Amino acid sequence: MKRLKALITVTLIVFSFACQKDNPVSTSDTQLSLSGKVVDESGKIISGAKIHYIPQFAEDTTGSSLTAAFRYSFSIPYSTNVTVVLLRHHTRDTVQYIYKNEYLSQGTYTLGPYQLTNGIYHYVVKYDTSEIDRKFLINMNENFLSELSPFKESDRLGVFDMSYKELGIGEIFGYQIADTTIVKTISNRFKVVIFKENYEMLVEEITVNTTIPISKVFTLKALANSD
């Protein structure tokens, strides 16, 4: 039987999602993490704060960046039933089904745009007995994150948790500059970005030892006109 081949094209485009947690990881997977607590200047708990992060790389990346966003396409050489799904890295949480066992005619299909916050994702194309799984990285600065669905959100106690594996520390990505392939590794250094209505945006750089969990308090400053 002929095989369906997915042709993936990465371009600059921006896009949003709703994450559905249907593949929880084990307790041991989440023990090595950054546990954060969000408070105001008086120490009062802030729930519902929107948490994002900005990956950094193990070497200097000044003047370069990995995909700010992406669009991909796949070609079907013959008509068949196809499932295409976006997943979170490590947890494999479902972000969104693009096609769910839908019958598609022969041709090329371009998918997107979908607004995604920073992080590692997988797009999975399934057909017949075959499965194509590719990871990609979204990495934008804080100016593009405020309107996107967050990576995490502080709970009623002001707490959120970022597993080191979810953050993709140590994951390797390559991209092209002219005829040169640049390979970069995600560092144990990253920026935490926090948004909350009536508070100033907080951007704080964190460096972790991936063998040790850490806890940290993040303090937000109220906007001058928020009273």
Query: Residue 45 carries which side chain, given as an amino acid letter?
Result: I
pLDDT in tens, 13-25: 233 233 344 444 4
Q: What is residue 21's predicted lDDT score, i.e. its pLDDT? A: 43
**What span, in angstroms and rounded, lies between the C-alpha atoms of 60 and 125?**
34
**Is 100 domain-assigned?**
yes
Residue 163 counted as domain residue: yes
pLDDT at 209: 98
Would 17 be classed as within a structural domain? no
Q: How many CA atoms lie within 13 A of 71 on its CB side?
A: 9
Q: Is residue 171 assigned to a domain?
A: yes
Instruction: Give the mean pLDDT of 71-97.
Output: 89
Q: Can you give the pLDDT at residue 226?
A: 63
199: DSSP letter: B
Domain count, the chain: 1
d(CA 96, CA 113): 12
What global pTM score does this model have? 0.79
For 103-129, what is each residue's pLDDT tens digit? 999 888 887 777 899 999 998 989 888
Residue 28 has a pLDDT of 53
Angle among Cα 137, 143, 146 to the nearest 5 degrees reads 85
Residue 184 placed within a domain = yes
Please tell me which residue, 207 or 59, carries the higher pLDDT value: 207
Instruction: Give residue 94's pLDDT.
Output: 96
Q: Report whether 118 contacts 17 (CB < 8 A).
A: no
Residue 130 domain-assigned (yes or no): yes
Would the pLDDT of 38 be above 90? Answer: yes
Radius of gyration for the chain, computed over Cα atoms and rounded to the nearest angstrom: 19
Domain-located, residue 12: no
User: Looking at residues 138-158, what average pLDDT do you find?
Assistant: 95
Determine, yes or no, domain membership for 20.
no
Give the structural domain span for 57: 27-220
Q: Which pLDDT does position 109 carry in this prediction?
A: 84
